[in-house]
Amino acid sequence: MRNYSATIKRRKRGKRTEYIARLQYYDRNGQRREVCRSADNSGDAKERLEELKDKYVTGGEALLDARNLTFSALADHCKKTRYCEAVYDDKGRKLFGVRNPKKFESIINKLVNEFGHLKLSQITVTDLQNYRKTRLTTKTKEAPSPTLPQSIVNYRLAVRC
């Protein structure tokens, strides 16, 4: 059963014609949502609409809403789901989580201070390189030398969700 509707609308903008691909769906709370993409011609609009349909069918509303996700929201999600206190089974094997969540929380908080206000789609390689350069040249108390070694900065940037 299909629980979304998809349309393409042609709209005049002065002398220019614009095509709008729109996917409407209902979220978990029963509210109607829509995602729109604009295109210069009907062929591109059809392709964009198919991409939206594919995203909705494979990942649902969460995947469509992810483009508005900020870094701080992703960091909070990671702290709760991946970098939480480790849980072990009866044999002592770690099932999920990390052994020292405070260490990762500290690393994530430093990244949130730098990138927290940005949407994930706005973070560029240049932003990461500038952050790395800043962290390498910043004087700290935690390293034996007055600045952090490259290995520590690279490790902190490699924290994954």
Contacts of 87 by beta carbon, 8 Å cutoff, 6+ apart: 94, 95, 96, 97
The ranges assigned to domains in the chain are 4-67, 69-157
pTM: 0.56
Q: How many CB atoms lie within 10 A of CB 52?
A: 21
Reported as a single tens digit per residue, the pLDDT across 83-117 is 889 888 999 888 888 888 888 888 888 889 888 88
What's the pLDDT score for residue 161? Answer: 46
Q: Average the pLDDT over 116-130 and give the result.
A: 86
Mean pLDDT of 145-161: 69
CB 26 within 8 A of CB 32: yes
- Asked whether residue 40 carries a pLDDT value surpassing 80, the answer given is yes
4-67, CATH topology level: Double Stranded RNA Binding Domain (3.30.160)
SS3 for 56? helix
